[in-house]
A and B are shown apart, each in its own frame.
Chain A
Amino acid sequence: MTNHWIDYRNSDVLMNFGGNTAENHPISMRWIQKAREKGAKLIVVDPRFTRTAAIADLYAPIRPGTNIAFLGGLINYAIQNDLYQKEYVVNYTNASYLINPEFSFNDGLFSGAAVDDNGKVSYDKSTWTYQTDGDGNIIKDYTLQDPNCVFQLMKKHYSRYDVDTVCRITGCPKDKFLAVADLYCSTGKPGKAGNIMYAMGITQFTHGSENVRAVAMVQTLLGNMGIAGGGVNAQRGQQNVQGSTDMAILFGNMPGYLGHPKAALHPTLADYNRVETPATSYWSNKPKFIISMLKAFWGKHANSENDFCYDYYPKLDNKDRSHIAMYKYMGEGEVKGMICWADNPAVSGPSASGKRNYSASLDWQVVVDIFENETATFWKEPGVDPTTIATEVFLLPAALHIEREGTVANSGRWIQWRYKAQEPPGDAKSDLWIVDKLYKKIRKAYEADPGPFADPILKLNWDYGEDIDAVAVAKELNGYESDSGKLLTNFTVLADDGSTTCGNWIYSGYYNNDEDPHCKRRIKETEGIGSNPDWSFAWPVNRRIIYNRCSADPQGRPWDPDAPVLWYENGEWKRNDVPDFNADIPPEETARAPYIMNPELQARFFAPGMVEGPFPEHYEPWESPVDNILSAIQYNPAITVWYPDSRGDRQQFPYIATSYRLTEHYQTGMMTRNMPWLNEAMPDLFVEISPSLAAKLGIDNGDLVIVESKRGQFEAPACITPRLQPLKVDGEEQEIVGMFWHWGYACMSKGPIANDITPSIGCANTTIPEFKAFLCNIRRAG
Chain B
Amino acid sequence: MERKVRVIDTTKCIGCRSCQVACKNWNQLPATETAFAGSYENPSDFSPDTWSRVRFNEYTNNGEVNWYFSFCSCMHCTEPICTNICPYDAIHKTDLGPVLVDMELCVGCGACAAACPYQVPKIGGGKSWKCTFCFDRISNGLEPACAKACPTNAISFGEASEKITEAEARVALLRENGYANAQIYGKEELGGLSVIYILADAPDKYGLPADPKFSLATFYLWKAASAPLKALAAVGLAAGTLSSWFKLRKDKVAQEKKEKESTLTKNR
Tell me if A54 and B14 are in contact (CB < 8 A). yes
Query: Does A608 belong to the interface (CB within 8 Å)?
Result: no
Binds B, one of A188-196, A456-464, A465-473, A673-681: A673-681
Tell me if A26 and B43 are in contact (CB < 8 A). no
A30 with B65, Cβ < 8 A, contacts A677-B25, A678-B21, A702-B38 known: no
Chain A 21-49 interface 0/1 with B at a Cβ cutoff of 8 Å (1 = within): 01100110110010000000000000001
Query: Does A762 belong to the interface (CB within 8 Å)?
Result: no
Tell me if A680 and B34 are in contact (CB < 8 A). yes
A677 with B152, Cβ < 8 A, contacts A54-B15, A722-B60 known: no
Tell me if A663 and B17 are in contact (CB < 8 A). yes
Residues of B within 8 A of A717 (CB): 36
Which A-chain residue is minimally distant from B21 (CB atoms)?
Answer: A677
Tell me if B42 and A682 are in contact (CB < 8 A). yes
Tell me if A681 and B12 are in contact (CB < 8 A). no
Residues of A within 8 A of B16 (CB): 22-23, 26, 51, 663
Taking the closest CB of chain B, its distance from the CB of A319, in whole angstroms, is 43
Tell me if A30 and B17 are in contact (CB < 8 A). no
How far, in angstroms, from A29 to B20 measured CA to CA in the complex? 18
Tell me if A29 and B36 are in contact (CB < 8 A). no
Query: Does A77 belong to the interface (CB within 8 Å)?
Result: no
Chain B 15-45 interface 0/1 with A at a Cβ cutoff of 8 Å (1 = within): 1111011001100001111111111101100
Query: Does A683 belong to the interface (CB within 8 Å)?
Result: yes
Residues of B within 8 A of A49 (CB): 65, 67
Query: Does A179 belong to the interface (CB within 8 Å)?
Result: no
Query: Does A664 belong to the interface (CB within 8 Å)?
Result: yes
Tell me if B67 and A684 are in contact (CB < 8 A). no
Tell me if B38 and A52 are in contact (CB < 8 A). no
Q: How many B residues have CB within 8 A of the partner chain? A: 36
Which A-chain residue is minimally distant from B36 (CB atoms)?
Answer: A684
A30 with B153, Cβ < 8 A, contacts A678-B21, A723-B65 known: yes
Residues of A within 8 A of B90 (CB): none
Tell me if B31 and A30 are in contact (CB < 8 A). no
Query: Does B151 belong to the interface (CB within 8 Å)?
Result: yes
Residues of B within 8 A of A52 (CB): 14
Query: Does B131 belong to the interface (CB within 8 Å)?
Result: no
How far, in angstroms, from A53 to B58 measured CA to CA in the complex? 13
Residues of B within 8 A of A719 (CB): 36, 38-39
Tell me if B58 and A721 are in contact (CB < 8 A). yes
Tell me if B58 and A33 are in contact (CB < 8 A). no
Tell me if B151 and A723 are in contact (CB < 8 A). no
Question: Most A CB atoms within 10 A — which of B11, B14, B21, B58?
Answer: B14
Query: Does B88 belong to the interface (CB within 8 Å)?
Result: no
Tell me if A27 and B36 are in contact (CB < 8 A). no
Query: Does B91 belong to the interface (CB within 8 Å)?
Result: no
Residues of A within 8 A of B68 (CB): 54
Residues of A within 8 A of B42 (CB): 680-683
Residues of B within 8 A of A55 (CB): 11-14
User: Which listed residue (B24, B40, B151) contacts A27, Cβ 8 A?
Assistant: B151
Residues of B within 8 A of A721 (CB): 39, 58
Taking the closest CB of chain B, its distance from the CB of A38, in whole angstroms, is 13
Query: Does A686 belong to the interface (CB within 8 Å)?
Result: yes
Residues of B within 8 A of A26 (CB): 14, 16, 18, 151
Which B-chain residue is minimally distant from A36 (CB atoms)?
Answer: B12
User: Which listed residue (B12, B18, B40) contacts A682, Cβ 8 A?
Assistant: B40
Tell me if A33 and B12 are in contact (CB < 8 A). yes
How far, in angstroms, from A189 to B219 measured CA to CA in the complex? 65
Residues of A within 8 A of B66 (CB): 54
How far, in angstroms, from A721 to B38 measured CA to CA in the complex? 9
Query: Does B69 belong to the interface (CB within 8 Å)?
Result: yes
Taking the closest CB of chain B, its distance from the CB of A50, in whole angstroms, is 9
Residues of A within 8 A of B14 (CB): 22-23, 26, 29, 51-52, 54-55
Which A-chain residue is minimally distant from B24 (CB atoms)?
Answer: A677
Which A-chain residue is minimally distant from B178 (CB atoms)?
Answer: A57
Within residues 693 to 710 of chain A, which ones have a CB less than 8 A from any CB in chain B? Answer: 701-702
Tell me if A30 and B152 are in contact (CB < 8 A). yes
How far, in angstroms, from A595 to B98 measured CA to CA in the complex? 58
How far, in angstroms, from A702 to B17 measured CA to CA in the complex? 22
User: Which listed residue (B20, B34, B38) contacts A701, Cβ 8 A?
Assistant: B38
How far, in angstroms, from A474 to B224 measured CA to CA in the complex? 73
Tell me if A686 and B36 are in contact (CB < 8 A). yes
Tell me if A33 and B31 are in contact (CB < 8 A). no
Tell me if A702 and B36 are in contact (CB < 8 A). yes
Taking the closest CB of chain A, its distance from the CB of B207, in whole angstroms, is 16
Question: Most B CB atoms within 10 A — which of A30, A52, A681, A684?
Answer: A681
Residues of A within 8 A of B43 (CB): 680-681
How far, in angstroms, from A664 to B56 measured CA to CA in the complex? 14
Which B-chain residue is minimally distant from A52 (CB atoms)?
Answer: B14
Which B-chain residue is minimally distant from A748 (CB atoms)?
Answer: B31
Within residues 201 to 224 of chain B, which ones have a CB less than 8 A from any CB in chain A? Answer: none
Chain B 36-75 interface 0/1 with A at a Cβ cutoff of 8 Å (1 = within): 1111101100000000000000111000011111000000
How far, in angstroms, from A54 to B58 measured CA to CA in the complex? 10
Tell me if A680 and B36 are in contact (CB < 8 A). no
How far, in angstroms, from A378 to B187 measured CA to CA in the complex? 57
Tell me if B36 and A683 are in contact (CB < 8 A). yes
How far, in angstroms, from A705 to B97 measured CA to CA in the complex? 48
Question: Most B CB atoms within 10 A — which of A26, A684, A701?
Answer: A26
A723 with B67, Cβ < 8 A, contacts A680-B34, A680-B43 known: yes
Residues of B within 8 A of A702 (CB): 36-38
Taking the closest CB of chain A, its distance from the CB of B173, in whole angstroms, is 10
Which A-chain residue is minimally distant from B67 (CB atoms)?
Answer: A54
Taking the closest CB of chain B, its distance from the CB of A154, in whole angstroms, is 35
Residues of A within 8 A of B32 (CB): 680
Residues of A within 8 A of B15 (CB): 22, 51, 54, 663
Residues of A within 8 A of B25 (CB): 677
User: Which listed residue (B11, B12, B31) contacts A680, Cβ 8 A?
Assistant: B31
Taking the closest CB of chain A, its distance from the CB of B196, in whole angstroms, is 19
Taking the closest CB of chain A, its distance from the CB of B198, in whole angstroms, is 13
Residues of A within 8 A of B20 (CB): 681
Residues of B within 8 A of A53 (CB): 65, 67
Tell me if B36 and A664 are in contact (CB < 8 A). no
How far, in angstroms, from A725 to B21 measured CA to CA in the complex? 31
Tell me if A723 and B58 are in contact (CB < 8 A). yes
User: Which listed residue (B12, B17, B31, B60) contacts A679, Cβ 8 A?
Assistant: B31
How far, in angstroms, from A264 to B58 measured CA to CA in the complex? 58
Chain B 155-194 interface 0/1 with A at a Cβ cutoff of 8 Å (1 = within): 0000000000000000000000000000000000000000
How far, in angstroms, from A308 to B14 measured CA to CA in the complex? 54
Tell me if B39 and A681 are in contact (CB < 8 A). no
How far, in angstroms, from A596 to B78 measured CA to CA in the complex? 63
How far, in angstroms, from A723 to B68 measured CA to CA in the complex? 12
User: Which listed residue (A23, A681, A683, A722) contacts B21, Cβ 8 A?
Assistant: A681
Could you list which residues of chain A lie within 8 angstroms of chain B, going by C-beta atoms?
A: 22-23, 26-27, 29-30, 33, 49, 51-55, 663-664, 676-684, 686, 701-702, 717, 719, 721-723, 725
12 contacts between A and B (CB under 8 A): A30-B152, A51-B15, A53-B67, A54-B66, A663-B15, A677-B31, A679-B31, A680-B43, A681-B21, A681-B34, A686-B36, A723-B67
Closest 9 CB pairs of A and B: A676-B31, A680-B31, A22-B14, A684-B36, A54-B67, A26-B16, A722-B60, A26-B151, A683-B34
Given A22-B14, A719-B36, 15 new contacts (CB under 8 A)? A26-B14, A26-B18, A30-B152, A30-B153, A51-B15, A54-B66, A663-B17, A664-B17, A680-B31, A680-B43, A681-B34, A683-B34, A683-B35, A702-B38, A723-B67
